Structure 1
Amino acid sequence: MVSVEKWTMWDSAVEVDVTEGAASPAARALTAAVVADTEAVCDLGRGAAEIHAVNLAQGTPVKVTHRMGDLLRSALWAARMTNGVVNPLADNFSEDESIPPIHAAVTFEDVQLDGDVVFAPWGASFDIAGIAKANTVDRAARSVAATLQCGAAVRIGDVIATAGHAPAGGWQMSVPAGGAARLSGGGVVELVNGTAMATAREPAGSSWAPRSDRSSGQWVQVSVIAADAVWAYAAAEAARLSGGLEWLEQQRLRARLVDRFGRVHTTGDWFTPQAR
């Protein structure tokens, strides 16, 4: 019997499921602590968040905490894996493309991270909330499973990770609604224990959103199952923005995509739990 705790943190719905009912309160406390730890260092809405010191450095090396360094490494790794489509740098764009930029554009490849010291050139400004939440999901699931010796599934928003031992019947996870299944939900898919799933959606108001958030392809929603939440999140966002079904097949990822006409497409092994 899986016990479930749900609440809201960091502007997101948070959920932790555990295979041992007695572990549920402690699992909630552990998960909340991990979320709070991450939010405190990288939430741009917090004036005291460490990420502001990184963004204000502007060409000066700055020493960061272990947690901040871990989050930046995840963000830079995701950028490399998606060829920069999932970008850790904020897009300081202008709607008037006839106005040339004052300085050369900075990319994630210009950022250097050596141990606990990060160097980003002038003009770089990090916004890593999405990847940070995915990293937090992975970390919280592992922490709950290891500390409480139970199976755990942790969700923040549309990103979920599993760890420990699976419940009887496996981890049966609901997929966010989209496409032809919109009225009844996106169905249920089984996650192999220790894997993760993320869903990327086209943001509301995309006509005025930064270019990095605008969909340039045919997909309005993409769900991806991967070995961890960071990769699932990065792959889902990359596929929604530019990669698509063929790219996901090349990466050997289980995926479900919804196109602009509401039609649902899946990779060949979407319904095969053994696939990783």
Structure 2
Amino acid sequence: MTATVGTTTGSPTGALGVRDWELWSTTARLVVTDPARLAAAADLVDDLLDAVDRAASRFRPDSELLGLARSGDGDVVLSPLLAALLAEALAAARATGGAVDPTLGGALAALGYDRDFSLLDRPRTVPGVATGGRRAGTPLVVRSLPGWRSLALAGHRLSMPAGVQLDLGATAKAGAADRAATLVSERLGTGVLVSLGGDVATAGAPPAGGWQVTVQDLPVDVPQQVTLAAGAALATSSTVRRTWRTGDRDVHHLLDPRTGQPTRGPWRTASVVATSCTRANAASTAALVKGGDAVAWLRGTGLPARLVSEDGDVVVLGGWPAPAAPEGRAS
């Protein structure tokens, strides 16, 4: 899952159609360059997002993800949509060396994230204060995890070990943003931006000057505006947005697949621009999981990226515009 990005979208020469709403315990925004198409675009997006939720939600009892029925040989036949979403999750796992892993559902549930985020206990620590994902003195428990390589997807048929709990939160929301933007552009012939929390996808012709997107994780952070060209996407992952109290510690939702525990820094926020939101999200999530290796790994991808440390320092690389001094440094 990703942090909410405050998005400011506008054109100096014309009006845009804008709709904001709450979705999946985060904020969503739909923007079209043709305001007359907003209502039709909203209907298309709502239907698509409902289909994604019915396919991949970990929390609604009627979702396909929670109701996977195995045949006698241990295989599961998936719907075309869930198969596509899982294929994207496995591609993200391969591209990130396993830093993004769709088999962490059981580990998240063990940490208490077994219901909608709005129902979890609030954390006691202040967002933005480094906690390392656990209270000092609490021993780190390394769990035996199935790992993404335990899954075999061939077309719509999935083979996986018994007891595996899938979680597609790291990629399905980004994939939904990509699909929604493409659908609106192709069906209605308008430029469109779809933002689902920190996952921003665009399609079609942008407004004059491009899509203006303000990147800001916490209210105390200095906002930075970036311009997205036609078809560009942006994703932000954060360890300070989805936090909750479990037992005697505060935890967050971004887990290290090697331990099944929340990542422990040094970065708390990662933003990445790519040609698809799915790819951007995989990179931003992987950066936080990779921790001290994030800068070198991101530089290898060539993607524009912005990292914020637990102390609030900013590092930009890959062509991401440098923030005004003394906020950060280009790398």
TM-score range, shorter chain: 0.7 to 0.9
Partner of 2:48: 34
CA distance in structure 2 between the partners assigned to 1:79 and 1:185 by the alignment: 32
2:60 to 41, 46, 52: 46
Is 245-254 or 199-208 further displaced after alignment? 199-208
Displacement, 1:62? 1.2
Q: Secondary structure at the match of 2:243?
A: coil
Change (3 A) 1:260 1:105: closer
2:302 corresponds to which of 229, 252, 264 = 252
Name the residue aligned to 1:234.
282
Q: Could you list the runs of 5+ residues in structure 1 that have no partner in the other structure?
A: none
Q: CA deviation at 1:263?
A: 0.8
Matched, 1:164 2:178: no
Q: Which residue of 2 aligns with 1:137?
A: 177
- In structure 2, the partner of 1:222 is 270
| Matched residue SS, 1:73 | helix
1:125 aligned to which of 161, 165, 176 = 165
- Counterpart CA distance in 1 for 2:300 and 2:104 is 28
1:245 CA drift (Å): 1.8
- 1:161 Cα deviation from its structure 2 partner: 0.3
Tell me by how many angstroms 1:12 deviates. 2.4
Residue 223 of structure 2 aligns to which amino acid in structure 1?
G
Q: Paired residue for 2:312? A: 262
Higher mean alpha-carbon deviation, 134-143 vs 45-54, is at 45-54
CA distance in 2, matches of 1:69, 1:140: 17
Identical-residue share of aligned pairs (%): 29
Give ranges in structure 2 of 5+ residues lacking alignment. 1-14, 112-137, 323-331
Point out the more displaced range, 201-210 or 26-35. Answer: 201-210
Contact 1:141 1:163 survives alignment (8 Å)? yes
RMSD: 2.6
C-alpha distance in 2, partners of 1:81/1:247?
A: 11
CA distance in 1, matches of 2:162, 2:54: 24
Q: What's 2:34 paired with?
A: 20
Q: TM-score w.r.t. structure 1 length?
A: 0.88
Contact 1:58 1:120 in 2 (8 A): no
Q: Which amino acid counterpart does residue 137 of structure 1 have in structure 2?
A: A
Give aligned pairs, total.
Answer: 267
Tell me: higher relative CO, structure 1 or 2? Use CA pairs within 8 A at least 6 residues apart.
Answer: 2
2:170, 2:285 within 8 Å by CA — same for their partners in 1?
no
Mean Cα displacement is larger for which, 244-253 or 121-130?
121-130
